[in-house]
């Protein structure tokens, strides 16, 4: 029994330490991400489980010998580390608020936000639902089968002239689908009266760039054309996404109404009025001179996404948000974790710096201390605070878009 207890606590201590201080370096990036992501966002559950395991073992078997003592010490260290991880997650509230105040001003919210956390949702993070929201599954937005389907979320009463939010999933452009990410955000914004849509898009290696972005633009065009059927207005459309989806969201926001990217639907309006990329990929060509980015540029993944005949650097820059920053970019709210093991936080900082230097619209940036990649997939202390901030930003962008430009001075 002591051996099993010691092994459990040793594993938990390693996970807790990695969540607090992730193992650096490319070879370890994927296992570091998976271990750190779940441990960080489920830290309250793991803290309780660790404390319960240590208490139960002690009550049932006592402390006999070195293995029990070491196991209890490991449990104590794990609880301490997990407590620090939880505090890091709680810090997202101030980090997001500071980012939005800095970019939008102190009055960016119309109403105060209830500071209480939804403890029932946090206790059961994988049970994501909202009885006030209807989900319409697998609506085709373009010909081509299951990779051209969207799920639509709307409030049961089909509100009139709703704004639209389009969600783009991640998965390194090669995997995943519309069911895997941002469900809490879709449910929240739909409950607030937005029409929300999450799409599939073509995946590499079968599809190569710019097929992914063209599909996104097809979805934007479809949503504008069919908005009224779901109680929405085509006038305001925001886009969001995480990782590869963050990259596509940024590209959609920075390449509006490009004929070469919307052959066959050139007259459709594919502009975007606000963009919220989470832990996105922004530099495809290594222009930021970040070592981890340069390694990714030379990787097999980029050749899969861009095609084996892609020319460097021109074809890489054609797919790079960093290379498409423009003065008339819509308002951005960029969100990234300081402990992201898959996409370096320095890449987000560089992208934000360039956006702020060139764009005439506000650029908010929240850097979340201790957050891993994909921190927002299910409800957690951190993701709840971020979701509230995203909702506030989107509602600010909607109000700002309704103000006549002349009135802005």
Which are the catalytic amino acids?
A: 243, 340, 373
d(CA 178, CA 139): 12
Contacts of 149 (CB under 8 A, 6+ apart): 138, 139, 140, 141, 178, 199, 200
How many angstroms separate the CA atoms of 127 and 183, rounded? 10
Cα–Cα distance for residue pair 396/110, rounded to 1 Å: 8
Report how far residue 235's alpha carbon sits from residue 60's, in angstroms, rounded to the nearest whole number.
65
Query: How many CB atoms are closer than 10 A to CB 301?
Result: 15
Exposed / middle / buried, residue 233 (Cβ in 10 Å: 0-12, 13-18, 19+): middle
Phi, psi (5° rounding) for residue 134? -100, 135
Among 404, 399, 346, 397, smallest CA distance to 103 is for 397
23 DSSP assignment: P
Neighbours of 136 (CB within 10 A): 12
What is the Cα 56 distance to its own chain's centre? 38
Distances (CA, A) of 182 to 57, 93, 123, 156: 39, 18, 18, 20
Q: From CA 372, how far away is CA 374, in angstroms rounded? A: 6
| Block residue for tokens 């797919």 | 319
């Amino acid at each position: 029994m002591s051996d099993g207890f010691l092994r459990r606590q040793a594993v938990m201590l390693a996970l807790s330490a990695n969540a607090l201080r992730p193992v650096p370096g490319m070879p370890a990036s994927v296992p570091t991400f998976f271990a750190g992501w779940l441990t960080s966002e489920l830290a309250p559950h793991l803290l309780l489980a660790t404390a319960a395991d240590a208490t139960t073992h002690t009550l049932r078997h006592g402390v006999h010998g070195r293995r029990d003592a070491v196991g209890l010490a490991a449990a104590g260290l794990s609880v301490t580390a997990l407590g620090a991880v939880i505090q890091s997650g709680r810090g997202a509230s101030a980090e997001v608020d500071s980012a939005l105040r800095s970019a939008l001003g102190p009055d960016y919210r119309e109403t105060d936000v209830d500071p209480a956390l939804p403890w029932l949702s946090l206790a059961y993070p994988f049970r994501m639902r909202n009885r006030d929201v209807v989900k319409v599954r697998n609506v085709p937005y373009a010909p081509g089968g299951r990779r051209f389907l969207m799920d639509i979320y709307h409030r049961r009463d089909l509100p009139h002239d709703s704004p639209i939010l389009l969600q783009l999933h991640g998965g390194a452009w090669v995997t995943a689908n519309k069911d895997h990410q941002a469900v809490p955000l879709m449910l929240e914004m739909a409950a607030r009266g937005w029409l929300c849509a999450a799409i599939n898009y073509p995946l590499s290696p079968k599809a190569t760039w710019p097929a992914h972005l063209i599909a996104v633009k097809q979805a934007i065009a479809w949503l504008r054309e069919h908005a009224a059927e779901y109680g929405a207005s085509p006038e305001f459309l925001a886009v969001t996404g995480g990782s590869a989806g963050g990259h596509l969201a940024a590209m959609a926001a920075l390449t509006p109404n490009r004929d070469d990217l919307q052959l066959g639907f050139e007259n459709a309006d594919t502009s975007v009025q606000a963009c919220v990329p989470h832990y996105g990929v922004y530099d495809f060509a290594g222009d930021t001179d970040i070592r981890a980015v340069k390694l990714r540029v030379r990787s097999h993944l980029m050749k899969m996404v861009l095609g084996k005949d892609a020319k460097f650097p021109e074809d890489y820059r054609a797919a790079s948000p960093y290379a498409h920053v423009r003065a008339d970019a819509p308002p951005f709210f960029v969100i990234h974790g300081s402990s992201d093991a898959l996409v370096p936080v320095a890449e987000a900082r560089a992208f934000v710096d360039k956006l702020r230097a060139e764009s005439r619209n506000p650029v908010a940036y929240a850097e979340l201390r201790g957050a891993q990649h994909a921190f927002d997939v299910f409800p957690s202390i951190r993701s709840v605070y971020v979701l509230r901030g995203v909702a506030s930003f989107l509602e600010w962008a909607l109000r700002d878009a309704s103000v006549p430009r002349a009135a802005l001075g």
